[in-house]
Amino acid sequence: MIELKSISKSFTGKHAVKNLNLTIPDGKIFGFLGPNGAGKSTTIKMMTGILPIDEGSITINGVDITDYPMEAKHLFGYVPDRSDIFLRLKGIEYLNFIADVFQVSIEERKEKIEYLTKSFGIYEALDDHIQTYSHGMRQKIVVSGVLLHDPDVWILDEPLSGLDPKSSHTLKEMMREHADRGKIVFFSTHVLEVVEQLCDEVAIINHGHVQFQGNMTEMKQQFQDDDNLERLFLELTENE
Amino acid sequence: MSNAWKLMKIMVKMQLSWAGKSSSEKVGYVIMAFALIPFGALILFSLNNLIGNLYNALEPTGNESVILALFFILMFVIFIVTSIGTVLSSFYFAEDVESFIALPFHPYQIVLGKSAVPFLSLYGLNALILLPVLLFYGLHSSAGLLYYLFAILLWAVTPVIPFVLLSIVLMFLMRFANISKNKDRTKIIVGMFGFIFAIGINVVIRLDSGGDGSGTADLIREQNGLLELVTGFFPTAYFSSIALTQPASVTGVLYLMLMLGLTIGFAILFLTVGQKIYFKGVLGLSGGTRGRFNESKVQKTIKRKPIIYSLWLKEMRIIFRTPAFFTQIVVQSLFFPVFLLVILFMESNTSLASLGSLLTQLEGKKLVLGLFGFTLLSVGMTPASFSSISRDGKSWFNHLHLPIAPQTVLRSKIITAFTLNLLTIAILSFAALFLVQVSFKIWLIWLLLALVTNWVTSIGGLIIDLYSPKLDWTDEREVFKGRFIGLAMLAIEATVFGTLILILWNVSAVNGIWVTAAVLLTFLIILAAACHAGLKRLSDKRYYSIH
Ligand SMILES: Nc1ncnc2c1ncn2[C@@H]1O[C@H](COP(=O)(O)OP(=O)(O)OP(=O)(O)O)[C@@H](O)[C@H]1O
Ligand SMILES: [Mg+2]
């Protein structure tokens, strides 16, 4: 379970996230929605220890990210919104580096690297510098890095952007399997079809507040006139 | 034209804006500016003296014009050398090049816009060096108003021709010599150019110094004879100097007109060439290489390593694979030892070779302090250390969400800077033991001093970079360019180590080789420990808040 307790973050006086509360239960695929600039990436960066939290606290499976950063960071894998990874490394060197960080055993890394990169179709590119990868290939190598060490919690910031249909399908299946094993998949997206098709629960935020949290049926009940998610989303995030 | 103007304004704003700079960085710039005032005054003072003395010596034979010519040539060379890097990175290697190409602009407009920043930096140098020179010359020759009018005009046009010449050469090279096919290789060649140039000149001068200077004496006897000799390869310097020394004559006016006309001509040429070939050189620039996939080779690289080793390996790979880092860090730090080796080899039959036995005759304390000074020269400035954090650029955040302790990351960076300096130490050791035949004892003392100093400066540089890192670069050169970080490190080291040497020099209780070395080493080790403590405190405060 991930718990965000009244967290706030401001950049030079402007609030990006304000007094945000969120509980993400185990065994669910949790969608995190909101317009551009709503504060999704900022929230995710605080969850992953990249940004210091101004106020409030975040615990991942009971471990506080601020107080026990090392322990907490062992629990999750994170796919950032931009794939600014170490471009001068080769794909295989990057995966090896990640595996070293998470102390993955040699047999496991051999097997996983082959399995993951083959399913994403980047196996043959492993010996090339990441700099020569396309946007989608970079995204895939990052995702492979996360799945390589098999973390309990997946935190993914727009993981499907740039992926081709086949890889997108593969990743969605993997997300489903992971949640079905009782683990957490938390991801942000702008694609409402994906949300409808994949998510067990969603939170919609705007201007750094949670506008709505609940599962799909609850959501539909609350807004009975809205027959589709798009209209619902537009209504919820309408600028006041 | 208004499009070009808009582009220029945007480019200048993007490069020079204060936005995005941390307040500590801003304070640093201001302090640095104030610190440079006395330094600048000293330089201006000596420049004035130099020009005055030269003028008095040369004026009787009517050769004073050569003073101006020398400075015009100097400016020409400076402009060419500084433009190589700025033009290449602005025209070809900056990340924004491709996005501008997609916009509906003419090539010449983009070329003009891209020239703005390199050109502005030339005018900065121009204002710093040539402007005072022209002023001082005017004062010493008690020139009239006309001289100053001419001087201002010529000052304004001086940067244009070297800049245009170099840009055109580069545009042709990028277009036709095919070096642009591999962006990385081009960058390394260009980066090494300066060093090869410097070593080459040194070798030529050394080979040449056997000749006698009898011809020069004749030349001095006739008016402007020296000028013609000196400006043989630099006609513009000749024109400018003549125009300035005879402003009231027809010749002077003609030469001024000629310079102005040439400048306009070159500007037009620049735009024409830019319009014709700029895009063709840019398109198809690509970084990195893609080879054939070899499964078993890849499988073999899958190994398990301790995290600190893995981090170190990553740092080394990035340094050796990124042209800007390779030239600025590896080549740069090898420059001093290689330079020394070249000199030693060339002078192997002369007095230098007996340096080894000479050293032993020195008094113990002076010897050790001298060795320490030499150590500072060789491993004191470590670009690898003061670029530790900044090198990561936008990929820095990866260290933050992975479960790696800050101390581990920082330690790997210290070790990286340290290992790179080991190469320098190894070369110098080779030179000391085999070329100069320094005694084993002295070499051992030096080695110890060098290793500990290396450790101290590696941490010191990291602290400075952590205090004020630059992560938002788009071209790797920005990690070194336009930052005062190297200068800051130099200033701090000069203060700390200078005081240390001064104190040891004057305390008479410290005497003899072993005592001095021991005291010095103790100091350095205490300093290293203090740096470690300082680093710990700084990283607790800053590690997670730099972005
Ligand atoms: N480094 C920063 N400095 C200043 N402001 C920032 C910074 N990062 C984010 N912000 C601001 O915080 C707010 C939230 O940004 P955030 O990136 O979290 O949005 P997002 O929901 O991820 O948007 P998107 O859907 O476009 O990815 C925005 O108003 C943004 O301008
Ligand atoms: Mg975002």
Kindly report, residue by residue over A40-72, the tens digit of the pLDDT. 999 999 999 999 999 999 999 999 999 999 999
Q: Do A128 and B297 touch (CB under 8 A)?
A: no
Span A100-125, mean pLDDT? Answer: 94
How distant is the Cα of B399 from the closest Cα of chain A, in angstroms?
9
Strand partners, A63: A60
pLDDT at residue number A97: 96
How far out from the chain centre does Cα B148 lie? 33
Q: Do B301 and A92 touch (CB under 8 A)?
A: yes
**Which tokens sit at B437?**
């035949």
pLDDT at B214 over 50: no
Q: Is the distance from CB of A65 to CB of A49 less than 8 angstroms?
A: yes
Nearest listed ligand to the Cα of residue B394: 1
In a domain, A178, yes or no: yes
B255/B242 Cα distance (integer angstroms): 7
Q: Do B297 and A127 touch (CB under 8 A)?
A: yes
Structure-token match 């150019």, residue found? B193
Q: Do A84 and B397 touch (CB under 8 A)?
A: yes
Whats the size of chain B, residue-wise?
A: 547
A57-66, A144-153, B149-158, B241-250: the lowest-pLDDT one:
B241-250
Nearest listed ligand to the Cα of residue A156: 2
DSSP label at residue B392: G
Q: A73 CB near a chain B CB, below 8 Å?
A: yes
- Per-residue DSSP letters for chain A? -EEEEEEEEEETTEEEEEEEEEEE-TT-EEEEE--TTSSHHHHHHHHTTSS--SEEEEEETTEETTTSHHHHHHHEEEE-SS----TTSBHHHHHHHHHHHTT--HHHHHHHHHHHHHHTT-GGGTTSBGGGS-HHHHHHHHHHHHHHT--SEEEEESTTTT--HHHHHHHHHHHHHHHHTT-EEEEE-S-HHHHHHH-SEEEEEETTEEEEEEEHHHHHHHTTT--SHHHHHHHHT---
How distant is the Cα of B295 from the closest Cα of chain A, in angstroms?
8
Q: What average pLDDT does chain B have?
A: 83
pLDDT at residue number A109: 93
Among A84, A113, A125, whose Cβ lies nearest the Cβ of B302?
A113
| Nearest Cα residue to B466 out of B485, B480, B482 | B485
CATH number for the domain including A199? Answer: 3.40.50.300
Ligand 1 pocket check for A38: Cβ under 6 Å: yes
AA letter at B401: H
Q: Do A92 and B307 touch (CB under 8 A)?
A: no
Kindly report, residue by residue over A8-20, the tens digit of the pLDDT. 999 988 899 999 9
| Residue nearest atom 18 in ligand 1 by C-alpha distance | A39
Q: Which residues have CB less than 5 Å away from ligand 2 (the ion)?
A: A 41, 81
Ligand 1 pocket check for A46: Cβ under 6 Å: no
pLDDT at B1 over 80: no
In a domain, A116, yes or no: no
pLDDT at B210 over 50: no
**What distance in angstroms lies between residue A84's CA and the mean position of ligand 1's atoms?**
17
Ligand 1 pocket check for A237: Cβ under 6 Å: no
pLDDT at B211 over 50: no
pLDDT at B290 over 60: no
Q: Do A131 and B398 touch (CB under 8 A)?
A: no
Write out residues 505-544 of B within 8 Å (CB-CB) of A.
Answer: 544
The radius of gyration computed from the CA coordinates of chain B, to the nearest angstrom, equals 27
Q: How confident is the model at residue A177 (pLDDT cuts 50, 70, 90)?
A: very high
User: Residue B297: its chain A contacts at CB < 8 A?
Assistant: 127
How distant is the Cα of B85 from the closest Cα of chain A, in angstroms?
21
- Per-residue DSSP letters for B26-94? HHHHHHHHHHHHHHHHHHHHHHHHHHHHHHHHHGGGT-THHHHHHHHHHHHHHHHHHHHHHHHIIIIIS
User: Residue B286: its chain A contacts at CB < 8 A?
Assistant: 132
Q: A135 CB near a chain B CB, below 8 Å?
A: no
Q: Is the distance from CB of B396 to CB of A51 less than 8 angstroms?
A: no
In a domain, A141, yes or no: no
B408/B307 Cα distance (integer angstroms): 8
In a domain, A71, yes or no: yes
Residue in B322, B329, B391, B400 to test binding to A, most A beta-carbons within 10 Å: B400
Q: A86 CB near a chain B CB, below 8 Å?
A: yes
Ligand 1 pocket check for A39: Cβ under 6 Å: yes
In a domain, A53, yes or no: yes
Q: How many CB atoms neighbour CB B352 within 10 A?
A: 16
Q: What are phi and psi of A53, to 5 degrees?
A: -85, 130
pLDDT at B350 over 90: no
In a domain, A17, yes or no: yes
**What distance in angstroms lies between residue A42's CA and the mean position of ligand 1's atoms?**
6
| Residue nearest atom 26 in ligand 1 by C-alpha distance | A36
How distant is the Cα of A53 from the closest Cα of chain B, in angstroms?
10
How distant is the Cα of A193 from the closest Cα of chain B, in angstroms?
29
Strand partners, A153: A76, A184
Q: Do B302 and A110 touch (CB under 8 A)?
A: yes
Q: Do B318 and A89 touch (CB under 8 A)?
A: yes
How many domains are contained in chain A? Answer: 1
Q: Do B403 and A82 touch (CB under 8 A)?
A: no
B282/A201 Cα distance (integer angstroms): 49
A100-109, B215-224, B482-491: the lowest-pLDDT one:
B215-224
pLDDT at residue number B347: 65
A231/A214 Cα distance (integer angstroms): 17
Span A26-39, mean pLDDT? Answer: 93
Helix, strand or coil, per DSSP, at residue B237? helix
DSSP label at residue B108: H
More confident residue, A201 or B289: A201
Dihedral sign computed on CA atoms, order A5, A11, A13, A15:
negative
Q: How many CA atoms lie within 13 A of B105 on its CB side?
A: 26
Q: Which residue of A4, A9, A10, A11 sits with most ligand 1 atoms within 8 Å of its CB, as the best mutation to test the pocket?
A: A11
In a domain, A25, yes or no: yes
| Inter-chain contacts counted by CB atoms under 8 A, chains A and B | 108
Strand partners, A30: A186, A201
- This complex has an ipTM of 0.90
Ligand 1 pocket check for A11: Cβ under 6 Å: yes
Q: Is the distance from CB of B245 to CB of B64 less than 8 angstroms?
A: yes
Q: Which residue of A12, A22, A41, A210 sits with most ligand 1 atoms within 8 Å of its CB, as the best mutation to test the pocket?
A: A41
From the alpha carbon of A12, which atom of ligand 1 is closest? Answer: 4
Structural domain harbouring A160 = 2-82+153-236
- Per-residue DSSP letters for B33-47? HHHHHHHHHHHHHHH
Structure-token match 């965000």, residue found? A4
Q: Do A73 and B293 touch (CB under 8 A)?
A: no
pLDDT at B402 over 90: yes
- Per-residue DSSP letters for B510-537? --SHHHHHHHHHHHHHHHHHHHHHHHHH
Q: A9 CB near a chain B CB, below 8 Å?
A: no
Domain boundaries, chain B: 29-202+232-282, 310-542
Q: How many CB atoms neighbour CB B292 within 10 A?
A: 7
- Per-residue DSSP letters for B393-427? GGGGGHHHHSS--HHHHHHHHHHHHHHHHHHHHHH
User: Residue A86: its chain B contacts at CB < 8 A?
Assistant: 314, 318, 395, 398
pLDDT at residue number B213: 45
Q: A143-165 in b/e burial notation, b at 16+ Cβ within 10 A?
A: bbbbbbbebbbbbbbbbbbbbee
Decide the pairing of beta strands A63-64 and A55-60: antiparallel
| Residue nearest atom 28 in ligand 1 by C-alpha distance | A37
Q: Do A106 and B401 touch (CB under 8 A)?
A: no
In a domain, A40, yes or no: yes
A114-123, B250-259, B371-380, B451-460: the lowest-pLDDT one:
B371-380
- For the ranges A100-109, B214-223, B330-339, B493-502, the one whose mean pLDDT is highest: A100-109
Kindly report, residue by residue over B135-159, the tens digit of the pLDDT. 999 999 888 889 999 999 999 999 9
pLDDT at residue number B212: 43
Ligand 1 pocket check for A172: Cβ under 6 Å: no
Q: Do B304 and A106 touch (CB under 8 A)?
A: yes
Contacts of A239 (CB under 8 A, 6+ apart): none
Mark out the alpha helices in B438-512 (DSSP H runs).
Answer: 440-467, 485-506
Q: Is the distance from CB of A61 to CB of A152 less than 8 angstroms?
A: yes
Q: A87 CB near a chain B CB, below 8 Å?
A: yes
Q: A234 CB near a chain B CB, below 8 Å?
A: no
Q: Whole-prediction pTM value?
A: 0.76
pLDDT at residue number A117: 94
Kindly report, residue by residue over B20-33, the tens digit of the pLDDT. 555 666 777 777 77
Contacts of B96 (CB under 8 A, 6+ apart): B14, B474
**What distance in angstroms lies between residue A11's CA and the mean position of ligand 1's atoms?**
9
Ligand 1 pocket check for A36: Cβ under 6 Å: yes
